Amino acid sequence: MELRKSGKSERIPGEWALPVAAAVNGVGTGMYVPFTLVFFHYVTGLSFTVVGAVLTATGLAGIGVLPLAGAAVDRYGAKRVQYVLYGVRVVGFALYPFAHSLAAFAAVALVTAAADRAFPAAQQSLIGEVARGAGQDRLQASTRAMQNAGSGAGSLLATLVIAFAGGTGYTYAAWGNALSFALAALLLRPLKPVRAADGAPASRHAGAGYRLVLTDRPFLVVTGANFLNALSYSALSVLFPLFVVEWLHGPAALSGAAFTINTVLCAVAGVGVGAQVRRAGARRTRAAALGGALFAAAFAAQILLGTLRPSSDTVLGGALVAVVVVYTLGELIHSPAAQVLAVAAAPEAVRGRYMAAYQMSWSLAKAVAPSLFTALLALDGRAPWAVLVLTSAVAAALLIRVERRLPAEAVRPLPVTVTRGGDAAPRARHGVTPSSPETEGTRS
């Protein structure tokens, strides 16, 4: 696979495919995520209580498929695994309108949840397979921005469909979601793995188990830091609405405005902010740490706001908008750097297993966040924000501390040369090849 130079960056033929597929995938996801409980209640005819219990149970059970998905990526390649996961989601959402019994709904929900949990790990592995160096950062930023744009469009589309079609609109949204996954899968066809310097595709090493991941202490530190930061990502959807209504006694519409601002900024500014970070030459560890510091600043502002508790909705609204802007800037800086840091720190042969372990930190944070935030909020409205300030600061400190123990090309992308025949190889720094101990760093 040839990497073409364009200015200072390396252009990947067909690289548009992944961001566009992510946008289409986002449209489908955005059609049901904002209405999850209502969506499945109307589609299946089951009560809200039953639907909620089933979704919680199947979501937790779905985490168990991550190790299997990681092993499959290492054996068959990320693109093939993504095709399978897309296929499962297509079938799952196509069948939801027919799953009226509890057993049928639970079965479809379990299989679909497993595919949903495994998908991000496969996608991160795919970015590692089709791009090298700074190309991974660029591809990650554009993919995330397009996915956010698609999600916003999907939410709007579902709102319009339901408004015009009533309860039947939820069925149409389910089928529309299935269609979006099928189209996204087709859009991935132009992407091909980068060939190694010797001209051979990246090797598969199915025999390497998760023991390698569990003994890689620097990577485990990166994963632990991501768990702490993943709690920050859950704050906007779980904690923010409760804090506004229950503690600040503000209008619920402010929560919707916050989501809108966050989504629009992520879609519009994601690529530009990512490009600016790359041009500044920031190390991925330090960019991710800076994002965490901005999270901490936004959460500290929430503590101040929770102490002052302004009575004017106008003042409250303006303050919350400022907080969301700072929070979103932290997200735009942290997300591409942290994700690509994990991808680049993983050995190619077992990247799937590494990404599965890394994705576990996201899944666990999503499972822990609701109960943690509500318990802290019951004590004091400022308590959860204080905990998040601490977790964000600790995550930033961990990333800075582990920096010297990570592979050099993971911390800062090495320039890429184009070898004869279009094969890509990282350039050595100071006469040291990327595979040498001096560049690899200490991994234990």
Which DSSP string do the residues of 378-434 spell out, in sequence order? Answer: HH-TTHHHHHHHHHHHHHHHHHHHHGGGS-HHHHSPPPEEE-TTS-EEEPPBTTB-T
User: What tens digit of pLDDT does each residue of 370-413 get?
Assistant: 889 989 999 999 999 999 999 999 999 999 999 999 999 899 87
What is the pLDDT confidence band of residue 442, given thresholds at 50, 70 and 90?
very low
The residue ranges of every structural domain in the chain are 1-204, 208-413
Q: Distance between CA 35 and CA 29 in Å, rounded?
A: 11
Rounded to whole angstroms, the Cα distance separating 296 from 392 reads 6
291 HSE (CA, 13 A, CB side)? 30
Residue pair 18/147 in contact by the 8 Å Cβ criterion: no
- Cβ partners under 8 Å of residue 358, min gap 6: 121, 124, 219, 222, 223, 226, 342, 346
pLDDT level of residue 432 (50, 70, 90 thresholds): very low
Whether domain 1-204 has CATH 1.20.970.10: no
pLDDT of residue 58: 87
The DSSP bridge pattern shows strands 9-11 and 4-6 to be: antiparallel
Angle at 173 between CA 170 and CA 177, to 5 degrees: 145
Q: Does domain 208-413 have CATH number 1.20.1250.20?
A: yes
What's residue 330's pLDDT? 97
Angle between helices 383-402 and 217-234 (to 10 degrees): 150
Other beta carbons within 10 angstroms of residue 182's beta carbon come to 17
427 pLDDT higher than 60: no
**Within this chain, domains 1-204 and 208-413 share the same CATH topology:** yes
Average pLDDT of the residues in 304-323: 94
3-state helix, strand, coil in the chain (%, to 5): 75, 5, 20
Closest CA to 395 of 246, 240, 248, 229: 229
Residue 339, pLDDT score:
92
Q: Which of 212-216, 222-226, 347-351 has the highest mean pLDDT?
A: 222-226
H helical segments located in 131-216: 134-165, 168-187, 211-214
Are the C-beta atoms of 359 and 120 separated by less than 8 Å? yes
Residues in the chain: 444
Least Cα distance to 12 among 134, 102, 105 occurs for: 134
pLDDT at 13: 61
Q: Is the pLDDT reported for residue 443 higher than 70?
A: no
Partners of 5 in beta bridges: 10
Q: Name the residue type at position 125.
A: S
